[in-house]
Each structure stands twice: as structure tokens, then as C-alpha cells.
Structure 1
């Protein structure tokens, strides 16, 4: 199949990933092997992707040329060493109780009940055991 997304001709690719059937649309006019989330590796940039149950979908809405370059800098003293398993536990704690987890990490000691908690859908999260 072929289609046009934000002005770029795209080709269709289908794959199985994490128990889901994904359909991706990529453009050879944008020769980058990237895409949304963990999708990538095609010979062009993925501009749209969805899975067969229609629970997740990604669609590019535009591409802009940067006017100037941006420098990404890291401040190592601000970060803690971790492992994938520790990060997974931290994210699970955060989604169970965002308010208190954030306060604990910042060391603020300020405690006020949150007005609302968001739910967490872990189906796209890596699992480390």
C-alpha cells in the first residue's frame, strides 16, 4: 500500500511486536531509520503507526526545520546511577502515587493529598525481572 502523510509519499510495513500487529507508514524521502516509541529500522522515517486493536496510534502532524542548532548538555551531579529494574520500580511507584513519589525524590517533605491521580497503562513498558 501507498499513501501520502504531511505531503510525503509513504510505504506500508507490517510487523509483530510485543504481541501486537503494528502497521507503519514510512517515507523514503526522509532517509532516517527512526519512528515513534520503539518503532524504527525501516529505510525511511515512520510518519504514522498503529496497532491492530487501535489502542495505540502515532501520526506526524508536521516537520519543521530548526533555525539554529541546539546543544544538549547533561549535568552528571544532578543524576543518580540506576539500573533498568530500579527505574521500573520507580516508575511503578510514581504511577501509583505521583504526589508522594515526587516529594520523596525532591526531598521536599511537603505533603498534601493530590486532587486526582492518573492511571497507568503498563502494556508498552519494558519489564525487567
Structure 2
């Protein structure tokens, strides 16, 4: 209850500020993401996500961890760790002025790739209305990535954006989920941002077919390049000690994780790992 009161006050306070002087500044919208990595199991993963909006120029959606890493890279040249599974990466860059959306992927070797999202969001705005936190919201539906999504947006924040690729409704998306309840995004906090947004470059552009080949090659031997380098490989044994791992065990473990946790948002591009 206390958390909900804080959330309601935070959103209400921002709404009051927004109408007065926020337009033209950067804004930060925090979302809670809950998703099922394995559609056959009930277990979920929760992530703290950030949507940074630079007025009408661009927006960047990523995890809180990735946002910190991007800032560190800008300041020091070195970032934080990367996720081993591509299916768990939700980094999206929207060039709002050009109506361009790119999904950004980073490998464990710090290589960056991007996929241009050409799938059109054909929204159906419904008459049903409700209230979430302090905001009056309206219902909308869309199909994206082979999933049917239900969104709730508010015109009280006239920003046509939202989590992940979702945008172009007549207001900010406060909540959105798919009909299988595999993915749920919920707005949790709003605040003013800094003057500059630090984010990844686009990297090498891939088509979905090229991304499929990249994923399959990585799955076939996730540590191939690491093993071929000849450099000593160390991992944490769980007690803070660096030990030399059994690479066959590590490879089999990673391949199992990739194969079993294969529930991407773009289910129409799901890869059949063998």
C-alpha cells in the first residue's frame, strides 16, 4: 500500500510539473517489466526498465543496468557486463523525428548489432476507459511480433511513446501486456532527465534472417572465440574465487539455457534451436 501511495504521488507530481514547464526537456519514464523466459513454465523474470525521451528527437528504452553501463562507457570507455541470451535483450532506439525504430543487440564480446523494425503498429483505439494511479487512461490494441497486445495510454501526458517499440498513440503508454501474459510493462516512476542521453551506436545492421544466423552460430558454440583466443578463462566459483571452468560443462549449460528460455517478444521470429 505504501509503495502504491508513493507511486501515485510521484506520477501526480510529475503531471503537475509537466503541464507547466517540462515540455522541451528530457524526461525519464521508469517501467517495471515482468516476463516469462520459458512459455511452458510459470516462473518470471522482473527487470527495471528506463525510457529516456529527448523531446521530439529520440527515445531510448533499455534496462536500468544498461543505462548505467552506457553512461560509464561515455565517461571511461568501459561498460558493465552483457546478457548471454539475445532473447532477454530489450534495447530499443527510436529516432522520433525520422519515425525509425531499431532493436539493439550486444554479444558477450561487446559486438553491437541492430535490426530495423519495419513492422507497422496498426493501433485500434477502443472506447473503454479506466484509471491507473492518478491518470485517466484509455484502452488500445495492436498486433506486434506475432503477439496481440492490450495497452492503456493517457492523454494527460501528450507524449506519443511508450515501452519497447510501442508508440504513436495519442498519449504516453502507462501499461501494456500481451494476451498470453508473457510480457507486462507497467509505468512506475516519472522524473526530469539530464541534459544529454548517452546510448549505444547502431552497430552493424542486420535483417531478421541475418540475426537468425548470428543466433544459431552463437548457440552452436557460445564460447568458441573465447576458447580459440588461447587466453586463460576464469569464472567466479560463487565464493569470490577465480577458477578455471570446465568449458564443456559451461557450453552445455549455456546452450540449455538458450534453448529452454526461448520466448522472445517477437515470437514470429523465434529461432528453433537444435
TM-score by shorter chain over 0.5: yes
Q: Distance in 2 between matches of 1:108 and 1:24?
A: 50
Please say if 1:21 is aligned against 2:148.
yes
Larger helix share, 1 or 2: 2
Cα-to-partner distance string for 1:66-85 (whole Å, 9 max, x where unaligned)? 2x312436679xx5x34324
2:213 to 84, 89, 103: 89
TM-score (norm 1): 0.66
TM-score (norm 2): 0.36
Where does residue 100 of structure 1 map in the other structure? 223
Where does residue 266 of structure 2 map in the other structure? 124
Uncovered stretches (5+) of structure 2, i.e. residues with no partner: 1-127, 234-244, 270-274
> Does the C-alpha gap of structure 1 residues 21 and 44 become closer, same or farther in structure 2, counting only changes over 3 Å?
same
1:11 to 113, 131, 138: 138
Cα-to-partner distance string for 1:30-82 (whole Å, 9 max, x where unaligned)? 2122122222211111111112221222111111222x312436679xx5x34
Uncovered stretches (5+) of structure 1, i.e. residues with no partner: none
> Does the C-alpha gap of structure 1 residues 93 and 9 become closer, same or farther in structure 2, counting only changes over 3 Å?
farther
- The offset of 1:2, in angstroms, is 2.1
Counterpart contact for 2:146–2:267, Cα < 8 Å: no
- The offset of 1:23, in angstroms, is 0.8
- Residue aligned with 2:226, SS: helix
1:72 to 177, 188, 198: 198
> Does the C-alpha gap of structure 1 residues 101 and 12 become closer, same or farther in structure 2, counting only changes over 3 Å?
farther
- Residue aligned with 2:142, SS: strand
> Does the C-alpha gap of structure 1 residues 125 and 14 become closer, same or farther in structure 2, counting only changes over 3 Å?
closer
- The offset of 1:97, in angstroms, is 6.3
Q: Distance in 1 between matches of 2:138 and 2:173?
A: 9
Counterpart contact for 2:130–2:137, Cα < 8 Å: yes
Counterpart contact for 2:160–2:167, Cα < 8 Å: yes
Tell me the matched-pair count: 120
**Higher RCO (Cα < 8 Å, 6 or more apart):** 2
